[in-house]
Amino acid sequence: MRGMIRHMQIAICEDDEAQAGVLEELLKKRLSRTDSESIIDVYLSSEDMKRGIKNKKYDAYFLDIELGSENGVELARYIKTLDINSVIIFTTSHTDYMSEAFDVHAFNYLVKPVTDKQADKIVSQLEDIMDASQEKLTFNCNRQLVSVYYDDIVYMESDKRIIRLISTGMEYQFYGKINDVYEELPELIFGKPRSGCIVNYRYISKVDKSSVWCKRNIGADEIRLSLGRGRYNDFMSDYAQYITSVRGKSRRMW
C-alpha cells in the first residue's frame, strides 16, 4: 500500500504533435487509475521545454530522442544541470542509443509506437521511484538523530563498522553494519560494487573493469569506487537492470 499521495507532474517533449497526443492520452489513461489529479504538460520543441522548466520542476520527462536540430540527449543534459536527480524517459523509433542514455542516466526507453502495456509499466515504475524518493535513511551521528533522503545518498563505505555516508551536500559517519543498511534501501536504486560499499546507481558516471565512478553533482569531480574482484559482470548486469528499469531485481550477497 502506498503512503501519502503526491500528484505526479510529467513533461513531454515531442516535435510530432500527433505522437505527443498519443503518449499524453496513454499516460493519462494509466494515471487516472491511481492519480486523477496528475498534471501532464506537452512541449513541441526543446526550446519550448527549456523555457517551461525554468520555473517548474517535473517528476518525469518524456523526451523524443530525435528532436530536430537538438536531440533529446542534449535536452536531457540540460535538464540534468537543473536537477541531477531528474527522471528521464526517452521515446524513440530506434534502439541504438543505449550508450548515450547511459551518459545522461536515462531511467528508461519507450520504443514507438508506445502501447498501453508500456505506459502501464512505466507509470508503475515512476510511482515506485516517487515512493522511494520520499523515504529517508535515519541514523545516529555525533549523538544526534540524522535523516537523509535516499535520493540524496551518493555512496557509503564501511571500515570496522564505521560507515561513511557521502550525500550530494554533506558527509556523515555513523556506527553500524553496512549489510543491515543495504537491506533497508530500495533494490531498484542501490547496488554493491564490493563488500563494504554501497552506491546509488543514479550518480554513476561510468564503470570500467576495476572501478565504479560517480559524481556528487553535475560538474563535480568524479569519485572512484573500486570494484570487487570478479564483480564486473554481475555489477554491470545489475546496473543494466536499473538503466532499463527492470523491477523486482534480486539482491546478491557477496
DSSP secondary structure string for all residues of 172-199: EEEES-HHHHHHHS-TTTEEEEETTEEE
Cell of 156: 557509503
Average of pLDDT values for 150-178? 93
Average per-residue pLDDT in the chain?
Answer: 84
Which residue is it, cell 524518493? 133
Query: What are the contacts of 217-224 at 24+ separation with CB within 8 A?
Result: 217/84, 217/168, 218/80, 218/81, 218/84, 219/81, 223/154, 223/155, 223/166
If you ran DSSP here, which 8-state letter would residue 92 be given?
Answer: E
d(CA 38, CA 30): 11
- Note the pTM of the prediction, 2 decimals: 0.62
Nearest to 182 by CA among 162, 157, 213: 157
Q: Give Cβ neighbours of residue 108 (< 8 Å, ≥ 6 apart).
A: 89, 90, 122, 125, 244, 245
Tens of pLDDT, residue by residue over 177-206, are 999 999 988 777 899 999 999 999 888 888
Let me know: does 177 contact 190? Beta carbons within 8 Å.
Answer: no
pLDDT band at 95 (very low <50, low <70, confident <90, very high): low
- Domains in the chain and their CATH numbers? 9-133 (3.40.50.2300), 136-243 (2.40.50.1020)
Say how far apart CA 172 and CA 182 lie, in whole Å: 16
